[in-house]
Each structure stands twice: as C-alpha cells, then as structure tokens.
Homo-oligomer: A and B are copies of this chain.
Amino acid sequence: MAAASAELTPRKSPLQARARATKEALHVATIQVLTREGLIDCTTTRIAKRAGTSVGTLYQYYPNRDALLAAVLEEHLGKLAEAIERTCARLHGANLSEMATALIATFLEVKLGNPDASNALYAIAGERGGAELVLRGNNRMVATMSAMLATASDTRFADPAITAAVALSSIVGCVRAVLEGYAPPGFDHQLERQLVSLVSAYFENEAER
C-alpha cells in the first residue's frame, strides 16, 4: 500500500455499470474477509470468491493486492474526513461544548455505522504504506478541526492543531477499544457520553480567554 505510487493506482475506471458493480463488490468483499479472517489470511483468492468473481477480474481492476487494500482504506478515510469537514463547517463560531458534541456524534456515526469496515481497516493501516494514507487522512481532519477551533466564540487556543490532534487521537483510541473488543462491559453504551465529557473538559482546559 505504498500510498500514491503508480503501482498502487487502480487499473481502470469502471466505465460500465457492470464494472462499477464488480469494483464495489470487491471493496465489500475485502472488508468482509479482512474482518472474518484477518490481514494475513485476506488473500486475493478469498476476496475474489467472496465477491463472486475470479482472481483474474480482481487483477483487471487493481494491479496488486496492496492496491486493493489501499483503495478500500482510502475510501473509508475519505468518507470519514468528509463527514468531519461537513460538521466542522456547520460549527464555525459555536462554543466548545457544541463543537465537542457534534464532532463526536459525527465521528461515531461514521465509525459505528459500519463497524466492520472501521475495524478491518485498522489491520491494513499498519502495513505497506497504509500509514501514509492514514497520515494524510489524519492531517486533513486535524486541519479541519483546528480551523474550527480557531473560530470558537469567546475563546483562543495557544496551539489549535495540537489540541485538535489530541482530541482526535483520544476519540480514535476509545472507539478502537470498543470496536476491537478491548473495552470493559458497559463501555460501548456510554461511549458517546464519555467522549463528550473527555473532549469538552479538555477543550475547556486548553482554552485561553
């Protein structure tokens, strides 16, 4: 998954309806296999079979296995970043509590909306250039969030980028604990409330007036 190198660029764009359906099926299948079997057992053959196609077809759309994984990861990160951007745009000028609440709601909506995908992608992120993509996604979200923080009514942050990054990483850490099942019983039901408490307390603590 070496980021944007030519080697990892999809091979052809799905001009026809069938082709588009095939690509979509491959994405879905990849996430399913990743979830059920893990990264190491997520083989091209298994993905193709689950997608109802053949390996050959898979390779008509992606030059290699890593490119497919990267595409799936990128799609997911894109959706997440877009959702965050929409929310942040709406919150310019709001107060810190509103910001924390809305941000977390958005994040959880996307992440918990398709938990399989979210979960599966953690595995990809660590391998072969996945880090590069996650980095870009993170940077994009941090930039968006810190721009929003800078508009908070009646408040200033010494270093909005750092504050945004800490908030994002904390949220990610907690969501991941829930999704990967490391969380103690009851955690998931309280997740949203706890995150709001965590992040808004932190925002208040960091804010200069």
Tell me the A residues contacting B by CB distance below 8 Å: 38-40, 122-123, 125-128, 131, 134-135, 138-139, 142, 159, 161-163, 165-166, 168-174, 176-177, 180-184, 186-187, 190, 194-195, 197-198, 200-202, 204-206
Contacts and interface: CB of A to CB of B under 8 A. Distances in A.
Given A40-B40, A173-B176, A174-B169, A197 B187 contact: no
Given A131-B181, A165-B187, A170-B170, 11 more contacts: A122-B126, A138-B184, A139-B184, A161-B186, A162-B184, A168-B177, A169-B173, A169-B182, A172-B173, A201-B201, A201-B205
B142 A162 contact: no
Given A39-B126, A126-B126, A202-B198, A177 B184 contact: no
Given A38-B126, A126-B126, A173-B171, A165 B183 contact: yes
A121 to B, nearest CB: 11
A170 B175 CA distance: 9
A126 B127 CA distance: 12
A206 B184 CA distance: 18
Contacts of A161: 184, 186
B201 A134 contact: no
A182 B138 contact: yes
Shortest 9 CB-CB distances between A and B: which pairs? A173-B173, A170-B170, A201-B201, A201-B205, A169-B177, A169-B174, A169-B173, A138-B182, A198-B202
A123 B127 contact: yes
